[in-house]
Chain A
Amino acid sequence: SQQGEEDPQALSIQEGENATMNCSYKTSINNLQWYRQNSGRGLVHLILIRSNEREKHSGRLRVTLDTSKKSSSLLITASRAADTASYFCATDAVSNTGKLIFGQGTTLQVKP
């Protein structure tokens, strides 16, 4: 069963706009991770946020975590055409440490 569910499933924006993707999960977690996948390629780790953190930044990426709502969001600011990809959240559940459960992903298209 999928731990994470992502919203929206697809997102299309213009270059320079911000993109926000949301992830909801079901069980208590150690951390939540976001990955990026370019079409047909392997996933690449973007950022990790621990259960005791509420916000984290990395370059143009901003991740928030609300453990009371069991949800996270990924914000990409000032998007570029090269940000076009699928983005997945993955949770490391307290009951299954080190075994990630992935969401279904959000497909982002950034139009030049």
Chain B
Amino acid sequence: DADVTQTPRNRITKTGKRIMLECSQTKGHDRMYWYRQDPGLGLRLIYYSFDVKDINKGEISDGYSVSRQAQAKFSLSLESAIPNQTALYFCATSDPGTSGSYEQFFGPGTRLTVL
């Protein structure tokens, strides 16, 4: 079974709709992240959480909100979706491990289309 899972994998929605993307992990990591990927722009950080009580805005948080329901779950919401939020969304987790280096582990992604 995958260590980091995302649901749904694909979603088509309409402008103005509220949508939630969910991420679950079985790695036991404290740190979780949400990114969006657009063609030619690489990955941009939306929100990140270093533990259940610590949530921070990333580079492009406007129009998004998150909820860290438990160590294993981190959800991303689009309160009122707009077409320029059409993108590939990734969840990731990390842990310092024994080396203190925060290698990140990614989910398979959610392809979101806003019409």
In the assembled complex, the Cα of A32 lies from the Cα of B40 at a distance in Å of: 21
> Which residues does chain A contribute within 8 Å of B44, judged by CB atoms?
102
Chain B binding surface, main DSSP class: strand
A25 within 8 A of B: no
B108 touches A105 (CB 8 A): no
Given contacts A88-B42, A88-B43, A105-B42, contact A45 B103 (CB under 8 A): yes
Segment with Cβ contacts to B, from A14-22, A69-77, A93-101: A93-101
> Which residues does chain A contribute within 8 Å of B31, judged by CB atoms?
98
**What is the minimal beta-carbon distance from A60 to any residue of chain B, in angstroms?**
19
A100 touches B102 (CB 8 A): yes
In the assembled complex, the Cα of A105 lies from the Cα of B10 at a distance in Å of: 23
Chain A binding surface, main DSSP class: strand
B75 within 8 A of A: no
B107 touches A42 (CB 8 A): yes
A31 within 8 A of B: yes
> Which residue of chain B has its CB nearest to the CB of A46?
B103
Other than A31-B101, A88-B42, A102-B42, give 6 A-B pairs with Cβ distance below 8 A: A9-B40, A35-B104, A41-B108, A42-B106, A90-B104, A99-B58
